[in-house]
Structure 1
Amino acid sequence: MRKSLLAVMLGTAAFAAFPAVAQTTVGDAAAQSDEASDGAIGDIVVTAQKRSESIQNVPLSITALSGDSLAERHIDGIASLATAVPNVNFGTYGGAARISIRGIGFDTINPGGEGRVAYHLDGVYVSRPAATFGTFFDIERVEVLRGPQGTLYGRNATGGSINVVTRKPTDEFEGYVRIGYGNYNDITSEGALGGQIASGVDFRIAFTTEDRDGYGNNVVTGREIDNAKRRGARAALSLKLGETGTFDLTGDYYRENDRNYGNHYLGQANPFITPSGFLFGGFVPSDRRDIANTFDPSNDRTFWSISGRLEMDLGGVTLRSITGYRDSEYAVRTDLDVTSAALSDFSFFEEGRQISQELQLSGDAGALKYIVGAYYFDEKIFGGSAIPLNAALVGLPDGFVQGYRVEGDVRTKAAAGFGQFDYSISDQFTATLGARYSWERHSIDDFQQFDLFRPFPPRLPNLPLYTRTDARSESAFTPKFAVEYRPRDRLMFYASASKGFKSGGYNIGDNNGGFAPEKLWAYEAGMKGTFANGRVRINTSGFYYDYRNLQVSKVVLANVLIENAASSVIYGAEAELTVVPFDGLQIEISPAWLHTKYKDFESANPANPGNPNPVRLDGNQLTQAPEISLNMAAEYSHAIGDSEFSIRGEMAFQDRIYFTPFNEKPVSRVPNTKLNAFLNYKWRHFDFALYGRNLTDKTTIANGLVSSIAVGLPITGTLDAPRTYGFQVGYRF
C-alpha cells in the first residue's frame, strides 16, 4: 500500500510539473492573469501573516477553507479538518483536542497541559485544548498554517497554527437558519442574524445546537454513551470610529452536558499481566463502541469569552489592539479499569481563565512591508484528578477508599516583542527577516494524595503525601529568515528557516522540578503556482525539522509524568493539487509523506514493569505521525437558472499512528481509509443538503494509552465517530 501511495505522490508531482513548464512562460503571464477563464479555481484572502493577502501569495504551507465550503462539506469541528488538510491528524482525550501537524501535537493528558499547535479565534490565542470545541459555527474561514510560527504567533505554535475567523457584522440586514437531522437521532441547528442598529453601529448574533443519541451503550446500566447535548451562542458589535477606525466587541458562550468522552476498553498492554477487572469477575463488551461500567461517564463543560479589537488608520500606519478574556471549566468522569467490576472511579477537572493583549503596528514603506508588536498573556488554572479505588486491589477488605488525588494551581505569565519585515529586492525577489523574543514565568502550588484506608464516599479532607510550591522562568528567541522568487505572476518559489518553541512548565501532581521548553528549527522550501488559465493549481513543499528537548508523557503508577528526554528528526513532503479539467468539475489531490524518529532517547516502559531499566527508543516513530497520508476529492457543480447543485466525494487515507513513544502496535491506530459524500442544492434563498461521512463505518481509535498498573495495565481510549449521514435544510435572507 505504501509503495502504491508513494507512486501516486510521485506521479502527482510529475503531472504537476509538466503543464507548468509546457504551458506557461514569463511572456504571457499578464495575459494569463487578466484573462483567466470562467472555470478558474477560486481564490481566498487570508490573514496568516497578520495582513490581508491572497493565499497564493503567502510564502508558507497553508490551507484555507471558506465558511461556505465548511458547511457544504459538513465540517462542523476541528476533527473533520483532518480529511481536508495534508499532514494534519486529530484525536481527543477527555474532551481535549489533540491536534497534530507534521507529527507535532498534543499528548499530555493531565489538566493544565498545553498543545503544540496554537489555536486562535478571531486573533485571540485559546490556550486550553478543551476550549477549542464549541467555536466552530458561523465561520467566515479557517486557516491551517503548517510549520512553526514562532515569530508572529509565539508560544506553543511549534507545529503550526489554526486560525478560525468568524463572520463579522455588516451594515446590511442578513442572516440564515439551518436545521438538520441524521442517524443516531442527530438534531442540529445553526443560524445568524445581523445588520445595522444605527449609523456606524452594526451587530450580529449566531447560535448552534446539537442533540444526538449515543454511538454506543453502557451494557451494565443500559444507557447510551458518547451522545451529545451542546449549545453555543455568539454576539458581536462593530462600531465605526469616524473615518479612520473600527472597534469590534465579541462575546461567546458554549455548554456541553452529556455522557461523552468515557474510556473504552481497547485491549491488554502486557500479555503477562491480566487487567484487574477480569481477575475480579468483570467483563467488557464485544463491541468496542460499548462500555461495561457500574456507572455512566459524564461530561460537563462551560466556556465563555469576550474580546475587543481596535483598528486605527494613522496615515500610512495601521494600529491594532486585540484584547481577550476567556473562562473555561470542565469535569469528566469515567472508569479507570474499564470493566464491569466495581474497582475504580476516575474523574478529572480543570478551571481556567486567561487574559491576553496584543498590539500591532503595520504598514508599507516603499519596497518594505512591516509589522511590529508586543504581546502579554496571563493565565490561572486550577485542575486535578481523583481516582477512588476498591481496596481489594491491594488485598485489603472490599470497599472504596479515597485512593489517588492530585490538585493544583498553575499560573503562567508571558510577554513578548516581535517584528517581521518583508523587503522587495526587485520585482521578482523578496527577502523576509523576522524575530520574536519571549519571556515566561510558570508557578505551581499542588499536592498528591494516595490513601488506601479512609472510606469513600464522601470525599474527606486531604492528607497529602507531598505538597509543592515552585516557580521557574524561561525565555526564547525565535527568528525567521525567508526568500521568495516570483518568475511570473501567479508562480512563486520560497525557502525559509524558522524557529519555534513550546512552553515549559509544570505537570500537576508529578512532584518534579518541572520541564523545560521544546525548541525546533525548521527548514522548508516550496512552490505555489497557478497554470492553464487558472484551471490548475499546484502547491508543494518539503521540510526538515531539528527538534530538541521533546516533552514526552507516560503513565507511571497513577501519575502522568513528563520527561525532557528526547530529540528527534522530522522531514517530509506534501502537495496540494487542484485541477478543473472542464467547467463544473474540480479534482483535488493532497498526498503527504512524513518521516519522524526519536534519537538519543531512553525511557523505561511502564507497560513492562518487569524491566524497570530504560530502553533505547532511537528510530521509533513520533506519536500522531502517520508516515503516509492521502486526501482525494472530486466535485461536480452545475447551475440551472436560479438554482445550483453540487455533488462531492472524498477519500482520506492515513497510515498507522502510534499513541506512545514505545511504538506498541496494540496502542496504535491501524492504517485506514475513510469515504465521505455530499450533495448540495441551492434554489433562490433555500439550501438543501445530504451528507455521509465515514461511509464504510470504520471503527478507528481517536486516542489510546496504557492505563495504570494499579488496575492491570488495560489499554483505554476513545473512538472516532462511526458512519454518520443525514440531511440539512437552510434559508438565507
Structure 2
Amino acid sequence: MNKADILGRIAIGAMVTALGQPAWAQDTSTRTTNEIQDIIVTARRTEESLQTTPIAVTALNSEALTTAKVENVVDLQATAPGLVIGRGSAGGDGIVFVAIRGQGNLQPILANDPAVATYVDGIYIPRPSTGMTDIQDIQRLEVLRGPQGTLFGRNTTGGAINIITNDPTDELSGKFKVEYGNYNNLGVQASFNIPLAEGLAMRVSGAINERDGYGNNPNTDRDFADNSSKFLRGKIKYEGNGWDLTLTGDWNRQSNHGQQIALWAFNPAIVPAAFQPGLTAGLLSKDHWWENTATGTATNAGISALPADVQALYGVQPFNKLEVYGFSGTLNVELGGLNLKSITGYRHSMNYGLSDTDGTAVPLLGTYAGSGSYYISQELQISGDITDSLNFIAGAYGGKESGYEFSRSQIFGGLIRDSNADVTNKTLGLFAQAYYELTSNLRAVGGFRYTWDTRDSVLHNAQVLGLPYNVAVAGTPTGINCTVTPTVPVTATTCNQDQNAKFSYPSWNFGVDWQASDHLFLYAATRGAAKAGGWNLRAGGLPAFAPEKVKDVEAGLKVDLFDRRVRFNTAVFHTWKSDNQAIVNSFVQGIGVTQYIQNNGKVRLWGIEGELTAVPWEGMTVTANGSLQDGKYVKGTFSEIQVVAGSGCTNSAGVTNGCVVDLSGLPLLQLPKKQLNISATQKIPVGSATLAVTGAYAYVGAQHFDAVKAADQASAATKAAYATENALGRVPGYGIFNGRVALQLDDSNIEIAAYGRNIFDKKYLLRRFPDLYRTLGIAAAYVGQPATYGVEATFKF
C-alpha cells in the first residue's frame, strides 16, 4: 500500500468516525480547556471559522507563531503542508522563492510576478525581496493553498500568505521582549497600545536585532550571513458610528556581509588553469561547512579610464542591503444592509548587494545586483446580503508599480558588464463572488474576475559598465557597447530598447460545501487563475512571455473528533497548468547561451495534504502536517534548441545546427514529493507558573532547482556533463529538530524561555546552482543555518 492510499484511508476513517460522533453542545461555557478552540480566518475576505472555510488554509495565531519562533516568511516552511521556501540568489540575500503545491517562481525579476502572493493587512506585496522582512506583532497568519484568482488583489496560481497585524484597541497594554543567543544574537522587541480618545487608539511596535555571521572567511577573518535589522510599525484606528478607519505605516531595514554560499565543484575544462588552485582551496567540505573564502569583485588594470563611481565597484567584498516601507489606509462603512471597504496602499522596496557566486578568492563571478520599486494600489469592496440565503462580495482592484532592476557582473576578473531596465507594471481587475445556501447545511459559491495587465520596460544593457554606449566594443551583437536592439538611435548616454505588452484573462471559482454534522465539514471546488505575463530583462530581443494559466479541482474535509480533542483537516487536489512560464537555458541568435523565461509546456500536479491537532491528555498539544505530491510535464509540450556542431539539425527558428530537444521528461522544480512537520508541547503547572516544553521536527523531501537534458545528437562527453549537472541541480531532502522551553509566570505576565534551532547541527543545503558545462564551469551551494540557541524574556502589561 502506498502512502497516498494510507492517507486516503485515514481521511475516510476520520469521516466515518465523525459521522458517528454525537453533536457537541454549542454553549462555549461548557467547554473544557482540553478542547481545541475555534480559529477565525479571513481567507475569503470575510471573517469565518477555519473549520467551515471551504479551502485549504493553515492558520497560526500569535501563540503558535511564538512557539514555532516564526520571525520571517522563511520560518513558515515548517508550519504548513505543501509550502516550501527557498533561498539563495545572485539578486540579493533578501529574495525568497516561495512555492505552494509546486507553483513557484525561481526568477522573480521586476517584470515577472510571484506565484504565491503575500498580503499584509490586505495590501499586496509585489516584490519577493520583502520576503525576509520581519514578522512582528502579528494577530494571525494564514497560508492559503491553491489558486487565488477571484478575491485577492492579484491573481496567483500557487496560493497566498495572508498576514494580519494587531489592530489598536481601547485598552492600554504593552509588550517588551529581549533575546540573547549564540553568534552574539541580541534582539529587542516592543509594542504599545495606547487609547487616545473615545473610539480612537494607536499601536506602535518595533524591533532591533544584531547578530554575528553564521559563516566565517578564514582568509580574511570576515563574518558573513550575519544580520543587522531594524523594524517599526505604527497603526492608528478610529471607530465611529457605522464606520471605522485604520491608518498604518511600517519600515524595515536589513543588512549583512554576504550570503552563506560556497563552492561545491568546478570543471577544469572550462575554468582557466590560473584559477584552479584557488577554487580547490575554497571547495566546501563537511569539516568547514559554514566557511567560504569569498572576496567579491577583483580589481582590473583596465578600469583607469572608467568613471570614479564605476571604479569603486571593483574590489568590493560581498554585502547585502534591504529597505522596505509602506503606508496604507483601510476604511469600512456600513451602508444600510451593505458594507463598503476601501483599501489604499503604497509600498516601496529597495534591495541591492554584491554576491560572490563562486564563494572563493578567485574572481570567477561577482555580481552586483538589485532593484527598487514603488507600488500604489487601490481596492474597493462592497458586500452584503441580498436575501436570507444569498450574500455576495464584489469590487475592483487597481495597481501601478514603477521601478528599476540591474545586474552588473564580473566574469573571470574582466570588466563589469551591465544589464539594467526601467519597468512599469499596471493591473486592473473587476471581481464578484456570491454564496447561496441551498439548504441549512449545504452552500454553493461562484466567483469570477477579469484582469487587465500592462507590462512596459526599457532595457539599457552595456558590455562594459562605464563606457559610452556608442563606442566600439569587440564581440557584441551590435559591435558597440550598447548590447540591446535599440528603439531610438544610440548615443553616448542613450541605449534604449522599449518593450510593451498587454494581457487580459479571466479567473473563476465554483464550489459546494456541506456541514454534514456539527463536527464534520466537507467541500469540493474548482478554480482557475493566472500569473501575469512579462518580459525577460537581461536577454533583450526575446518576445514577452504570456500569462501562465492554472485550473484545479480540490476536495477536502475538516473534522473535530472525541469532544474536540482531535482535529483533522485534509485536502486532495489535481492541477492543470498551461502556458507554463519555464526557465530554459538555450541559445538565442545574436546573444548566445543565456537563461530566460518562456511559455513552454503543459504541467499536471496532484497531491494530498493533511493537518492534525490533538490534545491527548491535560496540557499536551500535538500538531502535525504533511503532504504527498507529484507532477510532470505533458509529453511533447516542453522543448528547447541546443546548438550541436556538425549535427545538421534543422528547426523552425532558423538556428544553424540547432537541435530541438524534448524536455517534457524533466522533473518539476521546487516540488518535494514528501513533506512532514510535527510538533508537541507539554504544559506543566509549577506552583503559580506554567512550564511549556516544545519539540518540533521538520522534514522536506528532495527538490530540483535545475534540470537539463542533452540533445540526442550531442557527444557522450556532453551527455555526461548534463547528467552531472542534473545530479547537482537536485538538493537532497533534510530534516531538522527545534525545541523551546518556556516558563510562564501567571501572576506577573512574565515569560522566560530558552530555544534551540537545528539542535543537532544538521548540515544541509538550501539550493545548488550548477553551471559546470555552460559558461562558468562551477557549481555553487547555498548552505543552511547551523545550530542556534538562546534565551528570551517577555514582559506584558
Q: TM-score, normalised by structure 1?
A: 0.92
Please point out which of 318, 321, 327 is paired with 1:297: 318
User: 2:40: which partner in 1?
Assistant: 45
SS at the partner of 1:449? coil
Instruction: Note if contact 1:117-1:156 (Cα within 8 Å) is conserved in structure 2.
Output: no
Are 2:512 and 1:483 equivalent residues in the alignment?
A: yes
- Equivalent in the alignment of 1:588: 623
Provide the rounded CA distance (Å) in 2 between the counterparts of 1:140 and 1:369.
Answer: 27
1:575 aligns with 2:610: yes
- C-alpha distance in 1, partners of 2:642/2:196? 61
| Structure 1: distance between partners of 2:110 and 2:428 | 23
Map 1:441-456 → 2, pairs under 5 A: 441-451=454-464
Correspondent of 1:679 among 724, 728, 741: 741
The residue identity in structure 2 corresponding to 1:598 is Y
**Structure 2 residue aligned with 1:464:** 482
Q: Where does residue 71 of structure 2 map in the other structure?
A: 76
Q: Which range moved further: 564-573 or 88-97?
A: 88-97
Pairs within 5 Å for 1:168-187: 168-187=167-186
Residue 351 of structure 1 is matched in structure 2 by 372
**C-alpha deviation, 1:517, in angstroms:** 0.8
- Mapped partners of 1:329, 1:216: distance in 2: 25
Instruction: Give the corresponding residue for 2:440.
Output: 427
| Residue correspondence of structure 1 range 516-555 to structure 2 within 5 A | 516-554=546-584
Pick one of 388, 391, 406 that aligns with 1:369: 391
Matched residue SS, 2:666: coil
Map Cα deviations across residues 44-71 of structure 1 (whole Å, 9 max, x no partner). Answer: 1111100011111100000010112111
> In the comparison of the two structures, how many residue pairs are matched?
712
Aligned to 2:533: 504
Cα offset for 1:573?
A: 0.4
Deviations 1:57-107 (A, max 9, x none): 100000010112111221111111111111110112222111110111121
Q: What code does the residue aligned with 2:507 have? A: T
- Structure 1 counterpart of 2:670: 624
Q: Is the 8 A contact 2:119 2:125 kept in 1?
A: yes
Report the Cα offset of residue 548 of structure 1.
Answer: 0.9
Distance across 2 between alignment mates of 1:73 and 1:262: 23
Aligned residue identity for 2:176: V
Distance across 1 between alignment mates of 2:376 and 2:382: 21
Aligned-residue RMSD, C-alpha: 2.7
Identify the structure with the greater strand proportion.
1
Q: Distance in 1 between matches of 2:328 and 2:465?
A: 47
Q: CA deviation at 1:489?
A: 1.4
Structure-1 separation of matches of 2:176 and 2:788:
22
Q: Residue 411 in 1 paired to residue 417 in 2?
A: no
Q: Where does residue 330 of structure 1 map in the other structure?
A: 351
Letter in 2 for 1:312: V
Partners of 1:111 and 1:718 lie apart in 2 by 23
Q: Is the 8 A contact 1:555 1:708 kept in 2?
A: no
Residues 729/75 of structure 1: CA separation in 2 closer, same or farther (3 Å cut): same
Higher-Rg member (1/2): 2
CA distance in 1, matches of 2:789, 2:389: 52
The offset of 1:703, in angstroms, is 2.8
**Alpha-carbon contact 2:18-2:560 (below 8 Å) kept:** no
Q: Deviations over 1:99-132 (max 9, x none)?
A: 1101111210545442100100110000010123
CA distance, structure 2, for counterparts of residue 647 and residue 609 of structure 1: 64
1:339-395: per-residue Cα shift (whole Å, max 9, x none)? 32234431101010000000001112311121101000100121110013456xxxx
**Contact residue 212 and residue 227 of structure 2 kept, 8 A:** yes
Work out whether residues 518 and 548 of structure 1, in 8 Å CA contact, stay in contact via their aligned partners in 2: yes
Of residues 611-620 and 414-423 in structure 1, the stretch that sits farther from structure 2 once superposed is: 611-620
Q: Distance in 2 between matches of 1:609 and 1:627?
A: 38
Q: Is the 8 A contact 2:643 2:659 kept in 1?
A: no
Q: Distance in 2 between matches of 1:315 and 1:642?
A: 50
Structure 1 counterpart of 2:722? none
Partner of 1:251: 249
In the TM superposition, residue 622 of structure 1 has moved relative to its aligned partner by: 1.3
Distance 1:305 1:88, change over 3 A: same
Taking a change above 3 Å as real, the CA distance of residues 334 and 669 of structure 1, as seen in their structure-2 partners, is same
Mean CA deviation greater in 272-281 or 562-571? 272-281
Distance 1:122 1:277, change over 3 A: farther
Contiguous gaps of at least 5 residues in structure 2: 297-316, 474-479, 487-496, 587-591, 648-657, 709-724
Q: CA deviation at 1:247?
A: 0.6
1:478 alignment partner AA: S
| Partner residue in 2 for 1:562 | 597
Matched, 1:159 2:180: no
In 2, the alpha carbon distance for the partners of 1:676 and 1:217 equals 24
Q: CA deviation at 1:587?
A: 1.8
Distance 2:186 2:451 in 1: 45
SS of corresponding position for 1:523: strand
* Paired residues of 2:111 and 2:425 also in contact (CA < 8 A): no
Structure-2 separation of matches of 1:314 and 1:250: 24
Contact 2:691 2:742 survives alignment (8 Å)? yes
Tell me: CA distance 1:184–1:413, structure 2 relative to 1, closer, same or farther (3 Å). Answer: same
Mark the CA change 1:260 to 1:113 in structure 2 (over 3 Å): closer, same or farther.
farther
**1:11/1:586 Cα in 2 relative to 1: closer, same or farther (>3 Å)?**
farther
**Contact kept? 1:401, 1:453, Cα under 8 Å:** no
What residue number does 1:61 align with?
56
The equivalent of 2:701 in structure 1 is 655
2:415 to 390, 398, 401: 401
Q: TM-score w.r.t. structure 2 length?
A: 0.84
The 1-side partners of 2:164 and 2:274 are apart by 47
* CA positional deviation for 1:629: 0.9
Over 3 Å counting, the alpha-carbon distance change for 1:16 and 1:617 in structure 2 is: same
Of 703, 726, 732, which aligns to 2:790?
A: 726
Kindly indicate whether the alpha-carbon contact (under 8 Å) linking 1:277 and 1:339 is maintained by their aligned counterparts in 2.
Answer: no
Give 1:703's match in structure 2, choosing from 742, 767, 771: 767
Q: Give the distance between the partners of 2:149 and 2:238, measured in 1 at CA.
A: 32
In the TM superposition, residue 555 of structure 1 has moved relative to its aligned partner by 5.5
For residue 309 of structure 1, report the CA deviation from its aligned partner. 0.4
Q: The residue matched to 1:71 in structure 2 has which SS?
A: helix
**Mapped partners of 1:23, 1:109: distance in 2:** 44
Provide the rounded CA distance (Å) in 2 between the counterparts of 1:302 and 1:447: 25
CA distance in 2, matches of 1:693, 1:436: 43
User: Cα deviations across residues 14-35 of structure 1 (Å, max 9, x unaligned)?
Assistant: 4565465346547635579885
Letter in structure 2 aligned against 1:706: P
Distance 1:207 1:636 in 2: 31
Q: Tell me which of 516, 524, 541 is aligned to 1:495.
A: 524
Give the secondary structure class of the aligned counterpart of 1:130.
Answer: helix
CA contact (8 A) 2:186 2:210 kept: yes
Give ranges in structure 1 of 5+ residues lacking alignment: 392-399
Residues 407, 418 of structure 2: 8 Å contact kept: yes
Residue range with higher mean Cα deviation, 627-636 or 616-625: 616-625
